[in-house]
Amino acid sequence: MSSPTHDPAVLAAIPVRPSRESFAPPRARLFPPIVWAGVLVVAALLAVLPLLNLVFPAGHALHISAFTIALLGKFMCYAIAALALDLVWGYTGILSLGHGLFFALGGYAHGMYLMRATAAAQGADRLPDFMNFLDWKAYPWFWSFTDHFPYAMLLVVLAPGLLALVFGFFAFRSRIKGVYFSIITQALTFAAMLLFFRNETGFGGNNGFTDFREILGFSITAPGTKAALYLLTLAILLGALVFARGLTQSKLGRVLTGIRDGETRLMFVGYDPHWFKLFIWTVSAVLCGIAGALYVPQVGIINPGEMSPANSIEMVIWVATGGRGTLIGPIIGAGVVNGLKTWFTGVFPEFWLYALGLIFVLVTLFLPRGIVGLVLMLRERLQARRAA
C-alpha cells in the first residue's frame, strides 16, 4: 500500500500555487508570415507614393499631390499615437483619456526648435512674432538650447516621458484605476490646455506655433523635405510596430495582459503591478510624443487645441474601431476614422461629430473586437465551413 503523501490521486488533488514561470511567453514568431507579407506590401506601396510626387509632374496620371503626401503623413503620425494607446489600454487595461497631452508636448518640443530656426533665418537677434507682440526682449529660460536639434529631440522624449513618469508614479501608487484614472487623465489634459492658452506661458497662446520655414537648414516646404519627413514617419511607424509586437510577446507582455485580466491574481503570484504599469505608461507617452514631433513639421502648426479632451477621446475611438489589443488594429482604425473625417469635413463638416459618435456606438454594439476582430471572426467561420 502506497503512502498517502505519494499517492498520485492525492497529489493531483492538492492545489498548486501559480509560479512566476507560468507567465513565460510561448515560443512564437514575431508575426505570422501572412501578416508580415501584408505589412511589407502596404509599407512598400506607401513608400513609393512620395517618389511619384517627385518624379512625375502635376497633371500626369501617376502624379501624387503634395497635399495627399502630407495627409498620409499625418495619418501615420496618428497611427503611432493609436499604437501607443493600445499598449496601455488594449494590453494593460488602462484607459487613458489624456494621450492628446503627450502628443501635443512632443509637438511643442519640436515646434520650439522650428520656431527658433525660422526666427534665426530672418535675423540673428530676431524673436518669434508672438514674443515681439508681447514686447519680450529675450527667450524665456525654458527655451534655452532649443536652437540645437539634438537637444530638441531629447526634449521630445523627456517632456512627455517625465510628465507621465511623475503622474503615473503617484497615480499607480495610490491604486487609482478604472474610470477614476480615466477622469484624472482627462482633467490633466484639460488643465494643460488652459495653461498653454495663456500668452504669458511662452508657447504662443491660442495661436501656438506656425509659419515654420526651415528644418536642419532645409526648406520645410520643399518637396524633397516633405518626402523625407513622410518616409521617416513611415519608418518610425514600422519600427514602433515591431517594437510593440516584441514587447507584447515577451514575458513582460504576458505580465501586462495579466494586469489587464486579473491584477489581484498577478499580485498573488508575487508581481508588483505598480512598476509594470508605470513602465508601459511612460513608454506609451514617449511614443505619443514622438508621433507629435513628426506631426508638427508635416502639418505646419501646433496649438493648444491638440490638447483638447476631444482629441484624446478620438484616439480611443481609433483603437476601438480597429480592434484593441491587436497592434495592427489601431493603425487601421486611425487610418479609417481619419479618412472618414477628412471626407466628412470636406462635404458635410457640420455632421462630423454626429458621425463620430455613431461610429463609436456601432463599434461598441456590433464590433466589440473592431475591424481586426471582424476579419478574424470571418476567417474562423470560413475555416469551420471547410472543416465541416
Per run of 10 residues, the mean pLDDT along the chain (length 388 residues) is 45 42 45 81 93 89 91 96 96 95 96 91 78 87 92 96 96 92 95 93 91 90 93 97 93 93 88 94 97 96 93 95 93 95 90 90 90 89 88
**52 is a domain residue:** no
**147 is a domain residue:** yes
**Cα–Cα distance measured from residue 381 to residue 388, given in angstroms and rounded to the nearest whole number:** 10
For the chain, the domain total comes to: 1
**31 is a domain residue:** no
Identify the pLDDT of residue 96: 95
Tell me the H-state helices in the chain: 8-13, 33-55, 66-89, 99-122, 129-133, 149-173, 179-197, 223-248, 251-269, 273-299, 309-322, 328-347, 352-366, 370-387
Overall size of the chain counted in residues: 388
**231 is a domain residue:** yes
Identify the pLDDT of residue 11: 36
Q: Give the residue numbers spanning the domain of 177.
A: 67-387
Name the β-bridge partners of 219. 214
**24 is a domain residue:** no
For residue 225, which phi and psi values (nearest 5 degrees)? -65, -45
Identify the pLDDT of residue 27: 42
Task: Identify the three-state secondary structure at position 209.
Answer: strand
**Cα–Cα distance measured from residue 250 to residue 27, given in angstroms and rounded to the nearest whole number:** 9
**Cα–Cα distance measured from residue 347 to residue 192, given in angstroms and rounded to the nearest whole number:** 33
CA distances, 19 to each of 8, 178, 251, 268 (Å): 21, 27, 13, 9
**4 is a domain residue:** no
**90 is a domain residue:** yes
Q: What is the pTM of this model?
A: 0.90
Q: What is the number of other CB atoms lying within 10 angstroms of the CB of residue 85? A: 28
**49 is a domain residue:** no
With contact defined as beta carbons under 8 Å apart, do 20 and 269 qualify? Answer: yes
